[in-house]
């Protein structure tokens, strides 16, 4: 008894097996995560070091170099790029894809420990590191604003209430709050300090001693025990102003006598603005960016965020409003729905084509059932392999739909041939499978071999295409199994003994015969005019090559997410007031575009003294509500922003599909990045400027920038060491 005969003679068992496969396939469909692209864990670790006040050159020589010397000893390190800015250094370590990032982390920590002795002794904190996936941008941007609350109070609500609720959601890895925390700013008056003969050190000591937050312990009485809560923490400017810092002439000197105590924020340079049609510009805002855990269901996480925000809205004061600036699940959901519709259309077309050529409903039912069963079985294998429903896996399913029914049709046609020869259905199905089982398996193996090389591709591209290739291979394997089990059983039970052709079959036969006759005439003419055929062939080849060279080339299409992000750049050393003025001018120009429905900007959030860069967030109407694609608005807005003389704005669409393969990807999100390396720093800088100027002259490049920031205005402080020594002051 052959393998297929077991299932032909046991129709109930075969049916139950297929029903179980279908049920588990439906269950797998709802369990599979939904993302834009396959989940790829890039082994990249980012090391950060803060050293306030240090120049980029100092950060490079005193901080980055000792760490780099230790990092180079880690096994599997492919590239290491450090970015040194005013008081801040980041080092991105990219390891080979076969290394587990969790196993690399202890090696990085050990290297940091070895470098500690060579780092500056006055670093405020030791270097920190974190796993960094360059493809994982925040999936959700939230803008909070209020007309009555202060910036600090709004930040507290965002950071202490909303952020905590969102952080507890399954699938959320990080919630970043961009704003300024509430703080009291003490601005002392030098003349008043001098009149009371109070030094700055004495003032600082009094502040540290006057506001503390320590446990009070407990007080045990004869009948009751009390927990002591010392109210030693000062919170408002008024409370600080009443603090006694010294006594002069038997009278207390309060802080308000020698300083201004202002309720402010930790960083008063931060300026976050928001505009929306129909609302006045909001200048008291906080931005929240939510990121997902690598591999989490983007759509499900975004839906949970929406539900949590709806609940939080009822708990917050009515004076706090928040708007969704960007929901990364929306374009993914639309893209996946489009592909799912494509799969459904492909299924319907395949069934219709089979009916057109078979001419009978009974024969058409067999491959029509085999097709969805094969797809559901493929979903089970995808779930076992921890795949996701994404663009590439669905593309593999769309591609597989075309040949999933091939084996079933071969089984059907061979069985019908034996029945037309006079055999009964069951013997015909058994004999048919004895003849073509090897053929069915061999054709499936041939298809698997075609896609197998993609599974073993190396690099980031191979990691992303592996899911696509395996999805196709899984579909071929499942369809082969179904063709060897379900198809012959259905042929033996559904197809009736050969009958005379019906009207539909006669019509199809006559149509195909007519097509064959016309093809014969065309083939005869072609053979008699071979030079014409050769010329037409040459024209087609030349046209194909020409179109290949003309058409734009890209690894993945960007799509239309209706969300634009960008940067506002001014010359280094620009003041905060200049940056904020440029921010207002840029927002005024962008808000004139009718299809812009939300506009946000952030300035003053750069680390260090240089505050010459800000960020823009632009949300357009959905694609079906506007005339032009997103690239049209980017070019239009950037052209209008070019009239601003004091700075430059760079805009870029948030791609629906994005693959960033490692630390070489630029933080600004540029389309292309070119890396220059050399032993002589000055020569590298000079060459980078020459290359930048040359690339700006090439047509097609809209914005060419480099990350060298050496034009920050500086004042050199010459120390009068003799006088300093006489006054007991050291260089430290």
Token pair listed for 265: 């924020």
Lowest mean pLDDT among 108-117, 627-636, 647-656: 647-656
Site of tokens 């500056």: 120
pLDDT at 612 over 70: yes
Nearest of 651, 672, 436 to residue 565 by alpha carbon = 651
> How far is residue 31's CA from residue 580's CA, in Å, rounded to a whole number?
48
pLDDT at 647 (0 to 100):
84
Residue of 346 and 143 predicted with greater confidence: 143
From 375-389, 572-586, 638-652, 662-676, the region with the lowest mean pLDDT: 662-676
389: DSSP letter? B
Residue 717: per-residue pLDDT: 80
Q: Are 44 and 94 contacting, i.e. CB atoms less than 8 angstroms apart?
A: yes
Kindly give, in sequence order, each residue whose CB lies less than 8 Å from that of residue 422, ignoring residues fewer than 6 positions away: none
Query: Own/partner pairs for 400-403, CB < 8 Å, 24+ apart?
Result: 400/471, 400/472, 400/475, 400/476, 400/479, 401/343, 401/346, 401/347, 401/350, 401/371, 401/375, 402/346, 402/350, 403/447, 403/476, 403/479
- For the stretch 193-217, pLDDT in tens is 888 888 888 888 888 888 877 777 8
Most confident option among 184-188, 370-374, 536-540: 536-540
At residue 387, the 3 state secondary structure works out as coil
Question: What's the pLDDT at 665?
Answer: 46
Residue 26 — very low, low, confident or very high, per pLDDT cuts 50/70/90? very high
Q: Is residue 339's pLDDT more than 90?
A: no
Is 74 within 8 Å of 111 (Cβ atoms)?
yes
Which of 225-229, 605-609, 625-629 comes out lowest in average pLDDT? 605-609
Residues 6+ apart with CB under 8 A from 409: 354, 367
Specify burial of residue 398 (Cβ count, 10 A radius: 0-12, 13-18, 19+).
Answer: middle
pTM (2 d.p.): 0.76
Position 474 pLDDT exceeds 90: yes
Whether 313 shows a pLDDT value over 90: the answer reads no
User: Per-residue pLDDT for 668 more than 60?
Assistant: no
Average of pLDDT values for 527-536?
Answer: 88
Confidence of residue 471 (pLDDT cuts 50, 70, 90): very high
- Adjacent-strand bridge partners of 172: 292
Distance CA 32, CA 387 (A): 7
Domains of the chain: 3-37+332-517 (1.20.1640.10), 44-131 (3.30.70.1430), 140-181+271-327 (3.30.70.1320), 183-211+233-265 (3.30.2090.10), 563-671 (3.30.70.1430)
Q: Tens digit of pLDDT for each residue in 126-183?
A: 899 988 776 667 889 999 988 888 888 888 888 888 999 999 998 888 898 888 888 8
φ and ψ of 218, to 5 deg: -140, 160
Whether 578 and 271 have beta carbons less than 8 Å apart is answered as no
Pairwise pLDDT comparison (498 vs 466), residue with the higher score: 466
CA distance readout (Å), 230 to 233, 234, 240, 532: 8, 11, 16, 99
Q: Is residue 662 over pLDDT 60?
A: no
> What was the pLDDT predicted at 667?
42
pLDDT at 270 over 70: yes
Which pLDDT does position 376 carry in this prediction? 92
72-85 pLDDT, tens digit each: 989 888 888 888 88
Distance CA 571, CA 728 (A): 40
To 10 degrees, what angle do helices 406-420 and 391-404 make?
10
Q: Tokens at residue 711, please?
A: 């034009």
Q: In this predicted structure, what is the pLDDT of residue 732?
A: 65
Q: For residues 496 and 537, what is the distance between their CA atoms, to the nearest angstrom?
A: 47
Report residue 594: phi and psi, to 5°.
Answer: -60, -30
Q: Is the pLDDT of residue 353 over 90?
A: no
**pLDDT-derived band at 497, boundaries 50, 70, 90:** low
Percentage above 90 pLDDT, the chain: 16
Q: What is the pLDDT of residue 710?
A: 63
pLDDT at 579 exceeding the cut of 70: yes
On the question of pLDDT at 9 being above 70, the answer is yes
Mean pLDDT over each residue of the chain, to the nearest integer = 84
Q: pLDDT at position 501, please?
A: 67
| Residue 13 clears pLDDT 50, i.e. is over it | yes
pLDDT (0 to 100) of residue 384: 93
Distance CA 279, CA 267 (A): 27
Which residue do the tokens 């239309």 mark?
560
Lowest average pLDDT, out of 10-19, 30-39, 535-544, goes to 30-39
Model confidence over 419-453: pLDDT tens digits?
878 888 888 888 888 888 898 899 889 999 999 99
Distance CA 634, CA 575 (A): 27
Distance of CA 575 to the CA centre of its chain: 33
Mean pLDDT calculated for residue range 20-49:
87
Least confident segment among 297-306, 362-371, 551-560 = 551-560
């Amino acid at each position: 008894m052959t393998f297929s005969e077991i299932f032909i003679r046991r129709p109930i068992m075969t049916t139950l097996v297929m029903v179980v496969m279908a049920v588990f396939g439906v269950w797998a469909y709802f369990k599979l995560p939904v993302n834009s692209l396959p989940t790829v864990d890039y082994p990249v670790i980012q090391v950060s070091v803060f050293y306030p006040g240090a120049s980029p050159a100092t950060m490079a020589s005193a901080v980055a170099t000792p760490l780099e010397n230790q990092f180079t000893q880690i096994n599997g390190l492919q590239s290491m790029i450090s970015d040194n800015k005013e008081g801040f250094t980041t080092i991105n370590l990219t390891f080979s894809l076969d290394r587990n990032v969790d196993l690399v982390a202890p090696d990085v920590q050990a290297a940091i420990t070895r470098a500690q002795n060579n780092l500056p002794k006055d670093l405020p904190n030791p270097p920190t590191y974190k796993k960094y996936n360059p493809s994982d941008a925040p999936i959700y941007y939230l803008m909070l604003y209020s007309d009555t609350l202060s910036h600090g109070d709004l930040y507290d609500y965002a950071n202490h209430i909303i952020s905590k609720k969102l952080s507890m959601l399954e699938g959320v890895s990080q919630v970043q709050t961009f704003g300024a925390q509430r703080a009291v700013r003490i601005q002392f008056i030098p003349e008043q300090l001098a009149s009371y003969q109070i030094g700055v050190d004495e003032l600082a000591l009094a502040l540290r001693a006057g506001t503390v937050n320590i446990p009070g312990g407990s007080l045990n009485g004869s009948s009751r025990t009390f927990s002591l809560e010392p109210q030693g923490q000062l919170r408002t400017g008024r409370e600080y102003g009443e603090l006694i810092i010294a006594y002069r002439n038997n009278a207390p000197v309060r802080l308000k006598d020698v300083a201004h105590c202002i309720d402010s924020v930790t960083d008063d340079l931060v300026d976050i603005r928001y505009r929306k049609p129909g609302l006045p510009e909001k200048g008291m805002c906080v931005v929240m960016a939510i990121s997902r855990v690598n591999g989490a269901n983007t759509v499900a996480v975004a839906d949970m965020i929406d539900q949590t925000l709806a609940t939080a809205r009822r708990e917050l004061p009515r004076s706090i409003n928040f708007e969704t600036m960007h929901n990364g699940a929306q374009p993914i959901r639309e893209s996946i729905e489009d592909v799912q519709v494509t799969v459904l259309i492909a299924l319907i077309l395949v069934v219709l084509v089979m009916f057109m050529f078979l001419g009978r409903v009974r024969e058409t039912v067999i491959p029509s059932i085999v097709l969805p069963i094969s797809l559901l079985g493929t979903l089970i294998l995808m779930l076992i392999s921890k795949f996701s429903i994404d663009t590439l896996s669905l593309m593999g399913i769309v591609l597989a739909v075309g040949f999933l029914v091939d084996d079933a049709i071969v089984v059907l046609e061979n069985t019908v041939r034996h029945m037309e020869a006079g055999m009964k259905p069951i013997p015909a199905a058994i004999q048919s499978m004895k003849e073509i089982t090897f053929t069915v398996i061999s054709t499936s193996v041939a298809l698997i071999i075609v896609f197998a090389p993609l599974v073993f591709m190396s690099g980031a591209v191979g990691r992303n295409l592996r899911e696509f290739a395996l999805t196709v291979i899984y579909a071929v394997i499942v369809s082969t199994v179904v063709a060897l089990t379900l198809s012959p059983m259905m042929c033996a039970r559904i197809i009736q003994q050969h009958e005379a052709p019906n009207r539909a079959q006669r019509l199809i036969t006559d149509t195909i015969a007519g097509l064959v006759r016309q093809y014969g005439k065309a083939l005869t003419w072609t053979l008699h005019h071979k030079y014409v055929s050769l010329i037409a062939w040459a024209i087609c080849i030349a046209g194909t090559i020409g179109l290949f060279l003309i058409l734009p080339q890209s690894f993945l299409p960007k799509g239309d997410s209706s969300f634009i992000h960008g940067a506002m750049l001014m010359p280094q050393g620009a003041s905060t007031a200049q940056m904020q003025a440029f921010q207002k001018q840029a927002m005024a120009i962008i808000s004139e575009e009718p299809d812009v429905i939300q506009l946000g900007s952030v300035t003053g959030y750069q680390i260090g003294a240089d505050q010459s860069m800000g960020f823009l967030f632009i949300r357009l109407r959905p694609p079906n509500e506007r005339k032009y694609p997103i690239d049209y608005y980017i070019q239009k807005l950037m052209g209008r922003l070019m009239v601003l003389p004091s700075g430059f704005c760079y805009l870029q669409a948030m791609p629906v599909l994005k693959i960033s393969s490692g630390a070489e990807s630029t933080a600004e999100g540029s389309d292309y990045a070119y890396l220059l390396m050399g032993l002589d720093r000055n020569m590298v800088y000079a060459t980078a400027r020459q290359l930048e100027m040359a690339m700006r002259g090439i047509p097609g490049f809209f914005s060419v920038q480099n990350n060298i920031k050496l034009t920050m205005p500086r004042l050199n402080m010459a120390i009068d060491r003799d006088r300093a020594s006489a006054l007991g002051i050291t260089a430290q």
